[in-house]
Structure 1
Amino acid sequence: MNAASPPVKLGAAMAARRTPEQLKARRQWVWREMLTSLWAPLSLLGIAFVPYVTLIEVAPSTAGWAQPAMKGFGLLMVAYFVALLIWRNVSPKEKAIRQLRHDARELIAEDERILARVQGKVPAQASERITEQALRVETASMEGDVARLQAEVKTLEALTAEHLGAYRKQSAWDFIGGFAKALLIALVIRTVIVEPYRIPSGSMLPTLQIGDQVFVNKFIYGVRIPFLNVVPFRIVRAPARGDVIVFNNPVDESKDFIKRVIGVPGDTVEIVDGVVVINGQPQPRQLVSTDYVVHNWNEQGGEWFDEEEVLYREDLAGVEHATLQNAVQQPSKAREGPFVVPADHVFVMGDNRNNSLDSRYGLGGPIRVAYVPFGHIKGKAMVVWLSLGYGGLLSNLFGGTGLRVDRFFEPVR
């Protein structure tokens, strides 16, 4: 009767048997596999994106050169991805060897999981045979010989069935555990780190275009507990005037809105002749154009239409940004407010001042004025990472909607 082996880690056993020449060849092969994976351009883009966002948040003035550089790098990664995709599908050998390598990795990973789980129940001789065969599979994979790799994988499959067949059936708990881990990681990322948000309307024109996809910084104001709408502790700072925030509408919690913070707790906000007045101090704005054209979307008709607006450059407590005023309503002497912002709330408005269901108008609800509680704020909009809006690539084929390359990595100011 064969003696049982001690607990085996297949990866460690394979590493112990590799010669220095095999180790060097494997390192080169691993790098080649990484750089020819479809994940390579996406990973490189993600790695570059983190310092880019950090830079433009900490030093906004750097966006003038950082955005074109990031945009160029992003387009290079798109070209990289497309080239890999074409090469992997046009070359029959590459297509075949990649599939075999995938099967080999899955089989070796399965053997490693089983050997770790059964904790020495497999005979030592069987573990040795599996380890040696896994090394042969790895060598054939590095050499890129389709026929040999196919034969070696088939042999390893036979050994696995012979010695580990009784343990191969995946339990329901294994499946549930794997699914739960993936779900937990996704929830942590979306709840604590970053979340995408699509701009659905023209209320933030011209700062944000309809169809812009923005990344939302989820941790800057503190970790928010979804559904409970509670922020137990603050991480970086409280929402500040000028921040563009995404929030769960307190009047209609089935909807998320994106607006600009105008007033913070304790502020008295008024709008006089279109000028924002905070605590009695008018916020400076400069006229830029009296016939600025924006592209809006008609949801009922399902089509784009042009609107002529008056464009201003507003300075809100040191945060400069563009705003629009309706040309027809421009000469009016309207006064809105005063609005006194309560504790732990903010007063928000859209940059498209005459076309925004914001705090002035009850956030679309029946009440006269509505403030946004801190607990409903999901985060601060950081940067446009994708834009499918008016014009751009292929817009002629899709009713005027196309890929807006010019919007890529646009900082949200």
Structure 2
Amino acid sequence: MSTTTANPTTPPADLEALMASRRTPEQARASRTLLWRERLTSLWAPLVILGLALIPYILLIEFVPPAAAWAQPLMQSLALAMLVSFGALLVYRFASPSERVLRGPRHDARELVEEIERVLRRVPGKIPPEASARLADQALQVETASLAGDAARLEKETKALDKQATQELGVWRKQGGWDVLSGFAKALAIAVVIRVFIIEPYRIPSGSMLPTLEIGDQVFINKFLYGVRLPFTNWVPFQIVRPPARGDVIVFNNPVKPEQDFIKRVIGIPGDTVELVNGVVHINGVAQQRTLVQEDQLIHNKSDNGPWYPERLLLYHETLGEKSHAVLQEDRVARLRTEGPYVVPARHVFVMGDNRDNSLDSRYGLGDPALGARFVPYGHIKGKAMVIWMALGYGGWFSNFFEGTGLRTDRLFEPVR
């Protein structure tokens, strides 16, 4: 393959620019085609596509709740398509001889070229132009072998480029290892910031929030809505968007059992007086609307490490202010005729589970009934539950192999209301 000779007086450029100046139009098209084919056949491709679609979906259902009626089926269809694509890519990798032989050497070659590119960018002006040109020429030889699908030649040219990089870059290449470490550190820092301050996953461990949230549902929680909670503390220095509101489903660090995180629904906000009369919530003396929907709603529950078991309970629709949600009760007559009144202190909330007769919530000491009523301080609230991104619950795909637990595709991307 013919290449042009670099002019020693030409200022050094980055490796990709030097390679681009030496490619023919046909080589450039073939290189772009191979690059996109490699990206689209990567096992990461379906996950990246789904992740990119999830960001606008979450924003849409948070700010335009009615849009979930059509947006959720679209997201479920996309998830199914990406799952099928992932399986097809796995089959393709094992079934295609050329893919099995070439993918590894192509990956090694790409990593080497990217390493050289990083070194040249990190030390501009310190590598002679003719050395950069020689590296570009050899990198093109690697690219040509890759485009030809010649695995043996690709490995040979990659080794030659590796040797030449050591000769031309010298000590600069040895220091390039710090680039890898710093890149990893940056990625880790970004992941920590996202998890601590923006969004965090949470798995539903119990049936206390049935039927809204089922055991095995995995939800994303909005970490910044109420304010930034400083890591390893229970302190929120300032509010960002708004305080917790009645009807919000929140995840919080249990002030009674700090080793546990709970998920419940906010019933009372600071200054409220909450009382239950035969299961009906009264806030500041006003009964909240509640309508019986079904007398024998079937749900599936389970205890810790125990089997799934069915229950038939009364299903109600309850309204708190402008927010409506489902709640369960064992009988038309509540276990206790009256509960409360509970007066919510400043910067605290009163929480209950939607499965009203099976929830260790504010009424029952947040897990220690001997303590009496307990409230959740603002500083313990980790965030508001937004959407179910994964559901590994009763029934669903492959449940016969996992004691009744399977992938519930019908619950994927369901907004938490």
2:104 equivalent to 1:99 = yes
Contact 2:279 2:334 in 1 (8 A): no
For 1:360, the equivalent position in structure 2 comes to 363
**In the alignment, what sits opposite 2:286?**
281
Q: How many positions carry a matched residue from both structures?
A: 409
The residue identity in structure 1 corresponding to 2:328 is L
Q: By how many angstroms is 1:6 displaced?
A: 6.6
Unaligned runs of 5+ in 1: none
Alignment of 1:192-207 (within 5 A): 192-207=197-212
Give me the whole-angstrom Cα distance separating, in 1, the residues matched to 2:224 and 2:415: 18
1:68 match: 73
| Distance (Å, rounded) in 2 between the aligned partners of 1:22 and 1:131 | 14
The structure 2 residue matched to 1:392, chosen from 370, 392, 396, is 396
Task: State how far apart, in whole Å, the 1-side matches of 2:20 and 2:177 are.
Answer: 31
After superposing the two structures, state which structure 1 stretch, 255-264 or 290-299, moved more: 290-299
Is 1:372 aligned to residue 368 of structure 2?
no
- Of residues 300, 304, 307 in structure 2, which corresponds to 1:303? 307
- CA deviation digits over 1:255-284, x for unaligned, max 9? 111000111111111111100111111111
Structure 2's unaligned 5+ residue stretches are: 1-7
Cα distance per residue 1:280-310 (max 9 Å; x no partner): 111111111222222111225x211122211
Distance apart, 1:353 and its partner CA: 0.5
Q: Corresponding residue for 1:336?
A: 339
Instruction: Please report how far the alpha carbon of residue 12 of structure 1 lies from its aligned counterpart in structure 2 after TM superposition.
Output: 3.4
Tell whether the 8 Å contact from 2:209 to 2:264 is kept in structure 1 after alignment. yes
Equivalent residues in 2 for 1:205-284 (5 A)? 205-284=210-289
Contact 2:292 2:316 (C-alpha < 8 Å) held by counterparts: yes
1:325 matched residue in structure 2: 329
- How many Å separate the matches in 2 of 1:171 and 1:77? 36
C-alpha deviations, 1:71-122, integer Å up to 9, x for none? 1111011101111111022212112221111101111122223334455454
Aligned counterpart in structure 1 of residue 412 of structure 2, from 405, 408, 411: 408
Q: 1: distance between equivalents of 2:258 and 2:97?
A: 52
Pairwise CA RMSD of aligned residues? 2.3
> 1:367 Cα deviation (Å)?
2.1
Q: Work out whether 1:49 is the aligned partner of 2:54.
A: yes
TM-score using structure 1 length: 0.92
Aligned AA (1:68)? P
90, 111, 117: which one aligns with 2:116: 111
Of 219-228 and 100-109, the range deviating more from structure 2: 219-228
Structure 1 consecutive aligned stretches of length 4 or more whose deviation exceeds 6 Å: 3-7
Distance 1:345 1:411 in 2: 25
User: In structure 2, how many angstroms separate the alpha carbons of the residues matched to 1:218 and 1:177?
Assistant: 27
Identity of aligned residues (%): 61
Q: 2:3 maps to what in 1? A: none
TM-score (normalizing by structure 2): 0.91
